[in-house]
Structure 1
């Protein structure tokens, strides 16, 4: 049974690279047809436009390298990211390890590890946070478990079958750059082919058009690919402007399939209680949106706008402190979620907090409770 499961897993891991391999093969074929058949033989050989041919060949080959380099970062070197392990929140009093000696007295050792509950987190109707059984960890906001990778991905966006990888917080900017540069590459291809196809047809009108079949196939592939990449880029920009992931947009459009509510546990400092508040899916369309569109885009692409154009690395860098907390926590140490997640922490918008407080003020909540970790010095 275990052997068959491992075989299926290996087939699955190999299968996800089938479409990327096909895309790479088509890219190589189209580059050859474009550079050799169009630029070298026709633009340079028939029309004598040597400088134009060399310029187009250099630009197309450069963009080829850029697209492949982005793909390697997005899939192989960086990936979508992995949520650090999050221990259960300190909702109930933490049990102590008690050892009884021969004299009958008891000595109490350090408490088990526990995380101070944040001021607001997604929960079940009873106020308990969402648990991921495969990872044996809490699932933080906007995090989803990836069956392809076997771990929870922070800000899970979607699985891109053309790239063969999951798109998450770490490689989202690279994904946007990937489709943007790919779209520019394909635009240059089909636009220049169309321009010179007209000239080739007019020049050989008396003898019939002499257009290479490979160039025509490249034109077809370039137009289809350009339509796909451009629409994907447009969707990504639109979702970023609203601070939404593709998965969240799909869930909003298919409420019946994915459920119609979202529940939060919110600590009210004035009441010293936690309120469990329920929202209909139509009510939390702006739960992550910041004050401006630019702030929303920066949340996905990173604060450095120059790096939006340079396809290199992550949009943020994990601190060493976060890595230390992720690897091993000292026994009994209480830490905050911010210390564990670092840049992976998702912050609710002002609209969200105000909407939750408005429901509490109106008495529109499911239940209340006191969490052991909710004291004045620990709630963040």
Structure 2
């Protein structure tokens, strides 16, 4: 799938429009309000403070915007197939004890990139490769958001919102004195009120939503799937209700001579039954266990999720139990709020990736990359799977049954 011409235009036009809009807001805020009103009629120090604060927020905003684009969402390495038949082929990846699969027990494969698709990765047509822990494509920024630039996206939202909060505070403080002196409101002030209110609402809603996603360690795609399931179930419920009504009408049609036309029926939404599957090793068998899309396999608890995002490169593994303390959580919050405090941890992540790249090419390096980029599932999710297996709410994958004569 390729990006269409209209989509390409929007990818560039919308971010450019944001930049042009910020240019006008700077004129209205720093000149009309900051210079003409505050500097000339109130306080030079307050005006200079406004210019410094708004400039500081925008510098950080554009730096984090640039980092989002430069670092990218995180490209998944190209992985060979899993050795699902366990024949010991050295060109295939060793079979892990647990991996996510389709209903037949097969791992996911992406034909566009000719690679095994590990959990939480998704092919993005905007970048042309499988994105690790793909979250969404941000039209305003013009970039896909994934494993490696998600933290920068969160910090971008923080400083973007801070800029408009500062704008709203200053414009609210000095609007009355401007009206009293001139008899009417400065038209630029009206635009400042509209834009600051609009963007504070939009960005705060977006940021709060993503705070919730981090606390549960889910992505925007996960939430979309949950909503699609609910929408599809509502549609099926209405279809059953309409079917019963039509059957009753057909029974009375001969007597009344009437006929109903359901021309306003809702179109069928995307089919999403919310069924997901995991392939688990149990003794000498492989078992497929079904679970619901609302189950969160990677949720390690809100405190650990934040530590992993901020201090562990947005990964769920690679840390000891002693790293998940309250002190580490406070450190993570400080890194989230302080400008550029995440850079030492980014350098550590890049050194770890460089160590992987320095390994000689071959299966050893591929296995190391597979383990590094794979997401660890939570003990709670493993217990859910174990309980299902104990209840025999599982089945043998088709390929395993055929190989071992269990079909």
**What's the TM-score once normalised by structure 2's chain length?**
0.76
In the other structure, the counterpart of 2:65 is 71
Residue 16 in structure 1 maps to residue 11 in structure 2: yes
In the other structure, the counterpart of 2:94 is 116
Residue 346 in structure 1 maps to residue 339 in structure 2: no
In the other structure, the counterpart of 1:217 is 191
Residue 295 in structure 1 maps to residue 269 in structure 2: no
Q: After superposition, what is the alpha-carbon deviation per residue over 1:192-217, rounded to whole angstroms, capped at 9, x for unaligned?
A: 1011002222x32xx622x3222321
Partner Cα distance (2:47, 2:278) in 1: 60
In the other structure, the counterpart of 1:359 is 388
| Shift in alpha-carbon separation, 1:360–1:368, aligned structure 2, 3 A | farther
2:212 to 232, 235, 238: 238
Q: After superposition, what is the alpha-carbon deviation per residue over 1:62-85, rounded to whole angstroms, capped at 9, x for unaligned?
A: 11111011101101x101010111
Bigger relative contact order, structure 1 or 2 (CA pairs below 8 A, ≥6 apart): 1
Partner Cα distance (1:81, 1:14) in 2: 24
Question: 8 Å contact 2:280–2:289 — kept in the other structure?
Answer: yes
Cα-Cα RMSD? 2.4
Question: 8 Å contact 2:225–2:274 — kept in the other structure?
Answer: no
Partner Cα distance (1:335, 1:191) in 2: 54
Question: 8 Å contact 1:265–1:274 — kept in the other structure?
Answer: yes
2:46 to 52, 74, 94: 52
Partner Cα distance (1:11, 1:302) in 2: 38
Partner Cα distance (1:302, 1:18) in 2: 34
Between structures 1 and 2, the one with greater helix share: 2
Question: 8 Å contact 1:319–1:342 — kept in the other structure?
Answer: no
Partner Cα distance (1:245, 1:361) in 2: 30
| Shift in alpha-carbon separation, 1:236–1:140, aligned structure 2, 3 A | same
Question: 8 Å contact 2:60–2:339 — kept in the other structure?
Answer: no
Question: 8 Å contact 2:286–2:397 — kept in the other structure?
Answer: yes
In the other structure, the counterpart of 1:267 is 281
Question: 8 Å contact 1:240–1:297 — kept in the other structure?
Answer: yes
Residues 172-187 of structure 1 correspond to what in structure 2 (within 5 A)?
172-187=150-165
- Which secondary structure state, in structure 1, belongs to the residue aligned with residue 93 of structure 2? strand
Question: 8 Å contact 2:79–2:115 — kept in the other structure?
Answer: yes
1:168 to 122, 139, 146: 146
CA drift at 1:157: 0.7
Residue ranges of structure 1 left out of the alignment (5+ in a row): 96-110, 372-380
In the other structure, the counterpart of 1:89 is 82
CA drift at 1:288: 1.2
| Shift in alpha-carbon separation, 1:236–1:197, aligned structure 2, 3 A | same
In the other structure, the counterpart of 1:37 is 32
Q: After superposition, what is the alpha-carbon deviation per residue over 1:129-179, rounded to whole angstroms, capped at 9, x for unaligned?
A: 000000111111111110111111111111111111111010100001011
Matched residue count: 335
CA drift at 1:342: 5.2
- Which secondary structure state, in structure 2, belongs to the residue aligned with residue 114 of structure 1? coil
Q: After superposition, what is the alpha-carbon deviation per residue over 1:302-334, rounded to whole angstroms, capped at 9, x for unaligned?
A: 346243233455753343242246xx743xx46
Question: 8 Å contact 2:222–2:293 — kept in the other structure?
Answer: no
Partner Cα distance (1:36, 1:218) in 2: 12
Between structures 1 and 2, the one with greater strand share: 1
In the other structure, the counterpart of 2:117 is 139
